[in-house]
Chains A and B, each alone.
Chain A
Amino acid sequence: DTGVSQNPRHKITKRGQNVTFRCDPISEHNRLYWYRQTLGQGPEFLTYFQNEAQLEKSRLLSDRFSAERPKGSFSTLEIQRTEQGDSAMYLCASSIHRGGYTFGSGTRLTVV
């Protein structure tokens, strides 16, 4: 199956709970990105992997956020002790070259 797959599509959680999202990139893409998007805004960069190495993290990624890409294939983004301000669409993208991202459909997180 082609395309970037993200699961779950929607997640509703209570404040203080931990959540984990999964991203399956296009198989031949070695670069994987996480972005966060709030309503009416453009996506904001969170972090980037090249293969299994996490090469850059935004200052938006507080210590409650952690991302992994253990075997250079799928990636997970975990948010611990969720806050209402974490409510957003979390987008994953992959690429094989500069800027040529393919995005998934995102995981919409609602913290209540």
Chain B
Amino acid sequence: GESVGLHLPTLSVQEGDNSIINCAYSNSASDYFIWYKQESGKGPQFIIDIRSNMDKRQGQRVTVLLNKTVKHLSLQIAATQPGDSAVYFCAENSQTSYDKVIFGPGTSLSVIP
């Protein structure tokens, strides 16, 4: 069945360092991937997305890498700041479930000042 999961449930990084959050997916039909950030008491917030015809996409301080061969997705955050502390979810979408985004369980990122 479909599933999106994360390798590490928690991650602690020093302020200013780079963070890497990993995600594995199993649905080979997935062709669109999204990273969300969720702060305590708030709904998930869109960070960046990538389509399966790309292997890298960059935003402001964030980069998403997609390796379709091993069904792996990662989110890199450059110069991590205290405001980056949150739970990060990868999510996937496929043409077969076009309007339904499936979320993984999340990684909690803690930034140490």
Q: Which residues of A contact B (CB under 8 A)?
A: 4, 31, 33, 35, 40-45, 48, 50, 55-56, 91, 93, 98-106
Contact = CB atoms under 8 A, between A and B. Distances in A.
A100 B99 contact: no
Contact of A101 (B41, B46, B98): B46
A25 to B, nearest CB: 12
10 contacts: A33-B101, A42-B89, A42-B103, A42-B105, A43-B89, A44-B103, A45-B101, A55-B99, A99-B34, A99-B101
Contacts, number: 59
A43 B36 CA distance: 11
Contacts of B93: 98-99
Contact of A98 (B99, B103, B104): B99
B105 A40 contact: yes
A4 B43 contact: yes
